[in-house]
Structure 1
Amino acid sequence: MGKYIVLSDSSEKHSAEELARNSGAHWARLGDKTVVWTASEKWTGFASKAIQAGISPDQAEGRELEGQLYLVIQTGRAFQDEHPEVRIVVEKGRYLVADLLPEEVSRLSESKNEWWTVRPLAVDSVIMDIVKPEARLALPGLQANIEAISQATYGSYLSSLVDFQTRHSLSSQFTSAAAWAVNQLQSFGYQAEQRQINVGSNSSFNVVADRPGSESGTRKLLLITAHLDSINIRDGKNAPAPGADDNASGAAGVMEIARVLAEHPAKHDLRFILFGGEEQGLHGSTQYVSELPEGEKTRIAAVINMDMVATLNTELPAVLLEGAPVSRSLMRELAEAAATYTSLIVQVSENPFNSDHVPFIDELIPAVLTIEGTDSSNNNVHTANDTLDHINYELALDILRMNLAVASKLLEIDNL
């Protein structure tokens, strides 16, 4: 058995990682919280060094582990709502550290759930970090483009999507929402269409809109994506599912960035995708990636995905950039754009889960999920309560500005 302690970077003057290394313990960091653990027989030595580092004797006593530590990643509060009995050691909204017995791990592994996952907790690792990149010199042309992001037009797209009673992927309302999106994108001048996908034994749609670049020869391809569907998992397929944050906020963000970029020709190819079947298991994005020719995959410079960008779960507006090692360069670009053009706090993680960036990452395509920052959980997703009155426009618009800045650079917009 073992013992653990949770240390706060904001209140402790020592380095939790250094303390763990010096005492033979293990650590894992989630933002401003670090859990440190070791075997019970080694705890006395650790506690002695912890007290020397300035930790109070009471805190240095630690807490007994009943099992082993695991990482849980969830959408909203899906895991906590389904398993309130589980012992949570650290809670940071999307990411949890749980103390699980072997029989609990076995039982959870048998659960089929699209909205949470349980993984072994990597030792001596950063699960989620807070980064503070240096702001760059803002480019005047890019600044003007970013200032074209409008709450009025973004809000109108958001309201139009929420007006559909549900956007469940297998509903007639989803089909209507997809047709609405195609019409909007065509009105901006893009080549837009619905493409049929399979959701189990049924069918739904992706919406795909293209604009070719002006560069001769081989051009790069930038994808800006979100899922269009919504779901009410508490009350069923036919229940109201306004999905204001999950994911009208991201889909409306695609529409708003498309509107702004329509006015700015670029060297490289631009594609917007609104995926269907996301809530049933990433069907739209998985099928899209599986059907890509190899040459098309290698052309993709980046995938910027927006999923839940408009609820404030942190004390100050924050964005979480979730990717993988293949996404590191793109994550750096997004973090620097956030520092340059917004006031967002930037969180980063290389633990991708359950959004449309994952199928791309699985094929080693650089993709990043841009999602609202996570300290507490969004309690309204997947319910009838995911409504416009919970939307934080300041947060959403800053995430759009960050994404637009990076998209403009990657596309090599003509007026920059």
Structure 2
Amino acid sequence: MKTETKFLILFLLCLNGLSAQTFIQGYADVANQVTQTNITNNLTQFEALGVKYRGTAALQNTLDWIKNKYISYGYTAGQMVEDSYSYSGSTCKNLILTKIGTLHPNTYVIVCGHYDTVTGTGTNDNGSGTSILLEIARLLRNVPTDYSIKFINFSGEEDGLRGSQHYVASVVNGTTPKMDIKLVFNIDEVGGVAGMVNNTITCDVDQSSPTSNNAASAVVTNELATCVDLYSPLNTFINFADATDYIPFENNGEIITGFYETNISTRPHTANDFLINMDPVYVYNVAKAAVGATMHFAIANTTLGRDDFDADFQVSFFPNPAKDFLSINFGTLTEPSYQFSLIDINGKIVLEKTVQNPKQLENIALASIGKGMYLANLHAGDKNISRKIVIE
């Protein structure tokens, strides 16, 4: 939850002039598959898990619940990574689910929100954001996107953004080369207030130091507000980015935006942060906007049939053309091992490798392979997937 007072932004964004966004029926078709039943069930189940503070069984149980949700949607264990860190004598975990993009697999749209709570069950703060992340992931599981998406469920937000700080320092900056992030879209406390007219969502824009990423944040926040207008019945309000999990990214120079409720509840951080004090229809409407926005940011392809996308289990090989290495995205395959072979134009196998217990992404060194056209073949169980690969 944001703990600082929110102030009206001191400048205006021209919501019609900064981008050429237009309504995409395919995006609306997916956004309209958000269901009130799923949202309400997720909020109810999140509430029943109790107070999710560091060092508690409830925090671990909630992490397991989120993982099981992703699995139930068709994601695999190999697509999920637990990012552990220690704070104040407790081990906490962020959960990262990665969906690899088809054109820009090494550039990521991060959609995130925290799942830890303090004092109460945190059904609004941040069961609301958690329920929406789950619904976005459910609906985009078999929708191809140009850019990769990382769905990140952070812990430690209520301890001072500990989980997101750790992730930026250890993972984003610990990757060689540094992780390429297109933007960070954070969803925190979007439950609304029971009994009020909750028809406006706040879109957060970066206006703090460092200032080098502020203009880009203004552009994507304008795009976020436009998506709200295109794919939900909600109005928008633009406001300053504040103390939640996009801040460590913002401090790292990344481009950030986010959602936050406009009618700000007084229940978070209390024992009364319950579903009964929220507006679940509002969460449903925010979810529709969030689905549309994620598809816009990651550039979803709704013209490719989902059966076609899933025909090869979302397996992909990149880069293509390749040079020093070839990355294999194992997609939704769940076999414990696979055999990879590279075949030249004469039908000769020039490289063969067996990988046990593969991660989602595996790199194959190509230093000994000559330039030319090859057939990359992946064999896993009774499944066989082939692609033409150029090595430069």
- Asked if these proteins are the same fold (TM beyond 0.5), I'd say yes
Aligned residues: CA RMSD:
2.5
Distance 1:225 1:297, change over 3 A: farther
Distance 1:228 1:311 in 2: 17
Deviation at 1:130, TM superposition (A): 8.8
Residue 396 of structure 1 pairs with residue 275 of structure 2: no
Residue 205 of structure 1 pairs with residue 93 of structure 2: yes
Deviation at 1:199, TM superposition (A): 2.1
Distance 1:297 1:250 in 2: 27
Give the structure 2 partner of residue 143 of structure 1.
28
Deviation at 1:132, TM superposition (A): 5.8
Give the structure 2 partner of residue 166 of structure 1.
51
SS at match of 1:319: strand
**Aligned with residue 195 of structure 1, among 52, 68, 83:** 83
CA shift digits 1:145-186 (9 cap, x unpaired): 110111111221111111012111221110011011112112
> In the alignment, is the contact (CA less than 8 A) between 1:128 and 1:348 conserved in 2?
no
What amino acid does structure 1 have at the position aligned with 2:250? Answer: I
Give the structure 2 partner of residue 334 of structure 1.
224
| Identity %, equivalent residues | 21
SS at match of 2:250: helix
**Aligned with residue 233 of structure 2, among 343, 363, 367:** 343
> In the alignment, is the contact (CA less than 8 A) between 1:344 and 1:398 conserved in 2?
yes
SS at match of 2:159: coil
Structure with the larger helix share: 1
Distance 1:127 1:396, change over 3 A: farther
Give runs of aligned pairs for residues 144-293 of structure 1, distance below 5 A.
144-190=29-75, 191-215=79-103, 219-232=106-119, 241-291=120-170, 292-293=172-173
135-144 or 206-215, larger mean C-alpha shift? 135-144
Residue 354 of structure 1 pairs with residue 243 of structure 2: yes
Give the structure 1 partner of residue 323 of structure 2.
none
Give runs of aligned pairs for residues 43-54 of structure 1, distance below 5 A.
none
TM-score normalized by the length of structure 2: 0.67
Would you say how many aligned residue pairs link Structure 1 and Structure 2? 287
Q: Where do 5+ consecutive residues of structure 1 fail to align?
A: 1-72, 80-93, 97-124, 233-240
Distance 2:140 2:39 in 1: 14
Give the structure 2 partner of residue 42 of structure 1.
none
> In the alignment, is the contact (CA less than 8 A) between 2:13 and 2:222 conserved in 1?
no
Distance 1:74 1:304, change over 3 A: closer
Distance 1:130 1:212 in 2: 32
Distance 2:242 2:157 in 1: 12
Residue 382 of structure 1 pairs with residue 269 of structure 2: yes
> In the alignment, is the contact (CA less than 8 A) between 1:355 and 1:369 conserved in 2?
no
Distance 1:301 1:74 in 2: 24
> In the alignment, is the contact (CA less than 8 A) between 1:321 and 1:347 conserved in 2?
yes
Distance 2:201 2:13 in 1: 10
CA shift digits 1:185-209 (9 cap, x unpaired): 1232331232212223321111111
Q: Where do 5+ consecutive residues of structure 2 fail to align?
A: 207-213, 304-392
Give runs of aligned pairs for residues 363-378 of structure 1, distance below 5 A.
363-374=252-263, 377-378=264-265
What amino acid does structure 2 have at the position aligned with 1:406? Answer: A
> In the alignment, is the contact (CA less than 8 A) between 1:337 and 1:406 conserved in 2?
yes
> In the alignment, is the contact (CA less than 8 A) between 2:98 and 2:150 conserved in 1?
yes
Deviation at 1:131, TM superposition (A): 7.3
SS at match of 1:380: coil
Give runs of aligned pairs for residues 59-208 of structure 1, distance below 5 A.
75=3, 94-95=5-6, 126-127=9-10, 133=16, 137-190=22-75, 191-208=79-96
